[in-house]
């Protein structure tokens, strides 16, 4: 687990630190951190803890119960993403970039620019052909890259 995420989980868990039964042992704490780690994003963890604090628990919730809740939360996020009309649940979209290299035989690049309004591979190659036909002193290529779809934000945030 990433350090940053672990820290976020611990911070979120502190919201119920004053509850009777809050884990004081390091190993018990680890179970709770791992349970919340099931959530697919920091925002998701916060949402889960929002839910936890709303419930009137008879006893301090076990790590297993929180893990179960985390799976439900994760399922919700996946479901929400699957409904995305842009990426159809993949979570990523293909973008096209113009890469300008420093020199003729260099693999180091001077800059990378996103090329807007290229919806598919065919048009990307058309763009590249047009570019190659234009006299240019710079060494450039068109390449595709994956970018997180905006539904990542929507589903998480």
Residues of this chain that interact with Zn ion (CB under 5 A) are 84, 86-87, 149, 151
Q: Which one, of 107, 98, 105, 104, lies nearest residue 142 by Cα?
A: 98
- Residue 78 or residue 136: which is nearer to Zn ion going by CB? 78
- CB of residue 57 to Zn ion, shortest distance in Å: 35
How far from 37 is each of 42, 48, 62, 69, 107, CA to CA, in Å?
A: 9, 11, 15, 11, 39
- Residue 49 or residue 84: which is nearer to Zn ion going by CB? 84
Query: Which segments within 5-156 are labelled E, that is strand?
Result: 92-101, 109-115, 139-148
- CB of residue 11 to Zn ion, shortest distance in Å: 28
- Residue 13 or residue 87: which is nearer to Zn ion going by CB? 87
- CB of residue 80 to Zn ion, shortest distance in Å: 10
- CB of residue 149 to Zn ion, shortest distance in Å: 3
- Residue 66 or residue 87: which is nearer to Zn ion going by CB? 87
Looking at residue 25, the DSSP 8-state letter turns out to be S
């Amino acid at each position: 687990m990433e350090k940053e995420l672990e820290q976020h989980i611990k911070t979120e868990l502190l919201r119920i630190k004053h509850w009777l039964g809050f884990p004081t042992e390091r190993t018990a704490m680890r179970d709770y951190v791992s349970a919340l780690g099931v959530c697919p994003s920091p925002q998701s963890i916060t949402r889960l803890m929002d839910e936890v604090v709303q419930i009137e628990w008879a006893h301090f919730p076990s790590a297993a119960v929180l893990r179960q809740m985390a799976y439900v939360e994760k399922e919700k996020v996946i479901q929400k993403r699957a409904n995305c009309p842009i990426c159809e649940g993949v979570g990523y979209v293909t973008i096209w970039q113009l890469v300008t290299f420093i020199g003729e035989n260099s693999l180091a690049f001077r800059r990378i620019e996103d090329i807007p309004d290229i919806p598919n591979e065919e048009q990307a190659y058309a763009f590249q052909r047009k570019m190659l036909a234009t006299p240019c002193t710079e060494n450039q290529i068109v390449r595709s890259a994956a970018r997180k779809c905006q539904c990542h934000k929507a589903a998480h945030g």
